Amino acid sequence: MKTELIEKASRIVGDNQLFVNIVSKRVQQINHGADPYVPTTPEMGSGDIALTEIIEGKLQWREESETSTASDPFDELSSEEPKA
């Protein structure tokens, strides 16, 4: 992963632990066949794609309070466009 992408994306997310979780979950999704939300080039790895998606505002995530009963907030990493 490119250092400049890591730095930019981590500033957007703010919380380092949340940042790592978002990137790793999205990388897993991409590696399992999810389509990227940004244009890609052959030299981009799944990590670079995930970081670029964060930088370009293509991912949404939500932080759950510890008292929430939701299973996994990262299951719902998605594009900006809400599902119908």
pLDDT tens track for 11-52? 999 889 999 999 999 999 999 999 999 999 999 999 999 999
Q: What distance in Å separates the CA atoms of residue 22 and residue 13, rounded to the nearest whole number?
A: 9
pLDDT for 16 equals: 92
DSSP class of residue 79 equals: -
Read off the pLDDT band of 83 (50, 70, 90).
very low
Of 7-11, 18-22, 76-80, the poorest mean pLDDT is in: 76-80
pTM of the predicted protein model: 0.74
Cβ proximity of 55 and 5 under 8 Å: yes
Q: What is the CATH number of domain 3-63?
A: 3.90.940.10
Q: Where are the domains of the chain?
A: 3-63
CB atoms within 10 A of CB 37: 21
Residues 6-14 have a mean pLDDT of: 94
